[in-house]
Amino acid sequence: MTGTIPPSGPASGPPSTRKPAAFRLDDSKVRLTDDETRKPSANETLITETLLEEDVPRLPREASTPRTGFNFGKWLTIGLGGLASLAVGLAVDSLIRDLFARTDWLGWLGIALAALAALGLLGLVFREIAGVLRLGRIDHLRERLATAAEADDARAATATLKELLALYADRPETAQGRKILAGHMREVIDGADLVKLAERDLLAPLDQEARRIVMNSAKRVSVVTAVSPRALVDLLAVLFENLRTIRRLSALYGGRPGTLGFLRLAKHVMAHLAVTGGMAAGDSLASQVLGHGIAARLSARLGEGVVNGLLTARIGIAAIAVCRPSPFIATNGPTVSEFMGELVSSSEKAEREGSTDA
């Protein structure tokens, strides 16, 4: 609530020269009103009440929360999954009985193969669980390092970087970076500087390899789009290349996801693209292409290949941001503009070679 003392003269008249004065709210001459147009009389003082937005009472959270009733979709999934499991189990049981009916050694062979299949299924389940947990660990590391760098908390940064070193303990290509970073952690350094040193000494070689992976993927998409005669072939090639790039980037940064973990990772990449406006980057990419004069220098097909390659690079950039166990603090990370020149030069080279062969 805010209190104001309007001038006693007309609103359109000269400004009031009335000096500030102290008064009591319980004074009989003081009036509280929410009408800003009301004029005070000669012997009274008006205090105008303005209701701020934060003073407006809000509805409870339950008013905007969807009601959770019976999840019939989950029931359907559980029921169908249970029936399928029972069907497979009965089929295996019937097969083993038939094998025993023929001869004993075939029955025992069937039991051994069924046990081997069960062990393989159990191993797949454990691998999927481990992959999902590993991706969650990387997400947690990135969030904690971002928080430590923002708060400049050296203790939190040191504890989190120890977990990062443990994540790459079995990676021989990171041995030198881990040794240098461990030496920095024994010194008295601010939290934000520790995170920046981890980027420079430990993650910089991985970042360079990630850029190469994205660049090569974008080149392949550009070439396939330029030479393929069918739009369906373009779509399948772009989809395969993007999924392959996401999996390779995750393995590079230590994710090693299984099937379920990979689906979760792809979902996170798409969510990151949506948040950063990546899916709407087509307009900006087209403007960059036109601004560089590529449309005039390349044929329509090769120009389309360049645009598809840049979109693939944008997906790769989002995958780097999601797969990397540390946020970009010291640098801004890769951008689409970094891939523009090399894609254009490779497309021009392909066009020259094609015209020479013709």
pLDDT digits 0-9 by tens, 125-138: 898 888 888 888 89
Rounded to two decimals, the pTM is: 0.64
Element (H, E) at 109: helix 104-151
Positive/negative CA dihedral, 157, 159, 163, 166 = positive
Taking a C-beta distance cutoff of 8 angstroms, is the pair 178, 202 a contact? yes
Backbone angle region of 256, left / alpha / beta, with phi > 0 → left and psi within -120 to 50 → alpha:
left
Which residues on adjacent β-strands are paired with residue 30? 45
What's residue 278's pLDDT?
47
**How crowded is residue 26: how many other Cβ atoms within 10 Å of its Cβ?**
6
Instruction: Find which of 15-19, 59-63, 68-72, 109-113 is predicted with most confidence, using mean pLDDT.
Output: 109-113
3-state class (DSSP) for residue 16: coil
**Which of 152-166, 227-241, 259-273, 287-301 shows the lowest mean pLDDT across its residues?**
287-301
**Is 50 exceeded by the pLDDT of residue 64?**
yes
Taking a C-beta distance cutoff of 8 angstroms, is the pair 217, 320 a contact? no
3-state class (DSSP) for residue 32: strand
**Is 70 exceeded by the pLDDT of residue 191?**
yes
Q: What is the mean pLDDT of residues 23-37?
A: 59
**Is 70 exceeded by the pLDDT of residue 323?**
yes
Which residues on adjacent β-strands are paired with residue 4? 48
What's residue 296's pLDDT?
45
pLDDT-based confidence at residue 46 (cuts at 50, 70, 90) = low
What's residue 260's pLDDT?
76
DSSP 172: G
Q: How far apart are the first and last CA of the chain?
A: 80
d(Cα 135, Cα 263) in Å, to the nearest integer?
A: 11
More confident call, 210 vs 280: 210
